[in-house]
Chains A and B, each alone.
Chain A
Amino acid sequence: EDQVTQSPEALRLQEGESSSLNCSYTVSGLRGLFWYRQDPGKGPEFLFTLYSAGEEKEKERLKATLTKKESFLHITAPKPEDSATYLCAVQVTGSNYKLTFGKGTLLTVNP
């Protein structure tokens, strides 16, 4: 069974304190790994897609990396507006449409 596990469940940072969120996965074959951001009361907002081990993508203070077993979302010098729940999802080969989501990491950045 395909599984996605995100850690930690919650993370509290001070503004400017860099850290990383983890997404570990167990799948039969990875087609793509997706990162989303979700603000309270809103739908998930797409951030990145990673397709192969070693791939990295950046957007402002966020950088996503991928290995054969996990992905990291690095947050550099976070600001309070980066506070949100970050969701990781995998798309498995042979399953063109289905995304399997992790339960998310709730990030709080204090000023």
Chain B
Amino acid sequence: NAGVTQTPKFRVLKTGQSMTLLCAQDMNHEYMYWYRQDPGMGLRLIHYSVGEGTTAKGEVPDGYNVSRLKKQNFLLGLESAAPSQTSVYFCASSYSGVGTSGRITSYNEQFFGPGTRLTVL
């Protein structure tokens, strides 16, 4: 059981280049998330997905796109990288349980991957 894995671990891009970050989880979690972590800013949500084939914008979505073609994978794309996207990117996943109201919800903790350190020159 590997949990949440991310590839690559490190990457250096030039301004304008594109790349895709891959996140994979083997816990059969419905929900997946992409965050970025910057000094003094904390963790900020970029995009998230509540199930295969669905995605939604988080707090800082501009300049990023995502896809969730398979339940276990969540891809984060940068179409034209900018220096402002230099950051550490974390993927997370969580279980969606059924709350007391009977509706599917996500009370439970998010499990994080090891991160991808991206530098855009």
A residues sitting closer than 8 Å to B (CB atoms) are: 31-32, 34, 36, 41-46, 49, 51, 87, 89, 91, 96-99, 101-104
B114 / chain A contacts, CB cutoff of 8 Å:
42-43
Q: Is B108's CB within 8 Å of the partner chain A? A: yes
The interface on chain B, measured as residues whose beta carbon lies within 8 A of the other chain's beta carbons, has a size of 27
Which chain B residues numbered 89 to 119 have a C-beta less than 8 Å away from chain A? 90, 92, 94, 105-115
Q: Is B33's CB within 8 Å of the partner chain A? A: yes
Given known pairs A42-B115, A43-B115, A104-B42, the reply for A99 and B107 (CB within 8 Å) is no
Chain B contact residues, majority secondary structure: strand
B residues sitting closer than 8 Å to A (CB atoms) are: 4, 31, 33, 40-45, 48, 50, 58-59, 90, 92, 94, 105-115
A43-B115, A49-B108 known, 12 other contacts, Cβ within 8 Å? A31-B107, A34-B110, A44-B43, A44-B112, A46-B109, A49-B109, A89-B43, A91-B107, A97-B106, A99-B110, A101-B44, A104-B42
